[in-house]
Structure 1
Amino acid sequence: MQTPPRSLVARVAVPTLAFWLAKGASTALGEALSDFSIHVLPPVAAVLIGFVLFAAVLVLQLTRRRFIPAVYWLTVAMVGVFGTMAADVVHVVIGLPYLVSATLYAVLLAAVFTAWRLTEHTLDVHAITTTRRELFYWGAVVGTFAMGTALGDFTAVGLGMGYLPSVALFAVLILIPALGYRFLRWNGVFAFWFAYVLTRPLGASIADGLGKPVSAGGAGLGAGWVSLGFALAMVVIVAVSVRWTGRRAQVETAEVG
Structure 2
Amino acid sequence: MADETSESEVLPKVGQAVPARLRWNKVPEVTVFFWIIKALCTTVGETAADLLKGKAGLGLPGASVLMSALLSVVLVVQFRSKGYRPGVYWLAIALISVVGTLVSDNLTDDMGVALGTTTSAFAIALVIVFGLWYSTERTLSIHHVDTTRREAFYWLAVLFTFALGASVGELVAEEVNLGYWVSTVLFAAAIAAIALAWFSLDLSAVWSFWIAYILTRPLGASVGDCLSQPTGDGGLGLGTAVTSVLFLAVILGLVVYLSLARKDIAAPEQAEVPVA
TM-score normalised to structure 2 length: 0.85
Secondary structure in 2 aligned to 1:174? Answer: helix
Higher relative contact order (CA 8 A, sep 6+): 2
Q: How does 1:185-200 map to 2 (within 5 A)?
A: 185-200=202-217
Aligned to 1:5, which of 21, 24, 28? 21
Q: Distance in 1 between matches of 2:83 and 2:132?
A: 23
Q: CA deviation at 1:171?
A: 0.3
**1:33-81 Cα shifts (integer Å, max 9, x gaps):** 0110001223211111011011111111111031001000000000001
Q: CA deviation at 1:236?
A: 1.6
2:171 pairs with 1:154? yes
Q: Distance in 2 between matches of 1:43 and 1:178?
A: 36
Q: Distance in 2 between matches of 1:111 and 1:98?
A: 20
- Equivalent residue for 1:252? none
Aligned to 1:23, which of 15, 38, 51? 38
Q: Distance in 1 between matches of 2:187 and 2:180?
A: 11
Q: CA deviation at 1:194?
A: 1.1
Amino acid aligned to 1:17: V
Amino acid aligned to 1:135: A
Amino acid aligned to 2:139: T
Secondary structure in 1 aligned to 2:143? Answer: helix
2:88 pairs with 1:65? no
Q: How does 1:157-236 map to 2 (within 5 A)?
A: 157-236=174-253
- Alpha-carbon contact 2:104-2:166 (below 8 Å) kept: yes
Question: Which structure has greater helix proportion?
Answer: 1
Q: How does 1:67-86 map to 2 (within 5 A)?
A: 67-86=84-103
2:132 pairs with 1:112? no
Q: How does 1:134-149 map to 2 (within 5 A)?
A: 134-149=151-166
Q: How many positions carry a matched residue from both structures?
A: 245
**1:107-129 Cα shifts (integer Å, max 9, x gaps):** 11111111101011111000111
Q: CA deviation at 1:5?
A: 2.0
Amino acid aligned to 1:241: L
User: Could you tell which deviates more after superposition, 237-246 or 188-197?
Assistant: 237-246
Q: CA deviation at 1:176?
A: 1.9
Q: Distance in 2 between matches of 1:146 and 1:214?
A: 27
TM-score normalised to structure 1 length: 0.91
- Equivalent residue for 1:34? 49
- Equivalent residue for 2:15? none
Secondary structure in 1 aligned to 2:73? Answer: helix
- Alpha-carbon contact 1:30-1:80 (below 8 Å) kept: yes
Amino acid aligned to 2:102: M
- Equivalent residue for 1:254? none
Q: How does 1:84-99 map to 2 (within 5 A)?
A: 84-99=101-116
Q: CA RMSD in A?
A: 1.7
> Which ranges of structure 1 fall in alignment gaps of 5 or more residues?
250-257
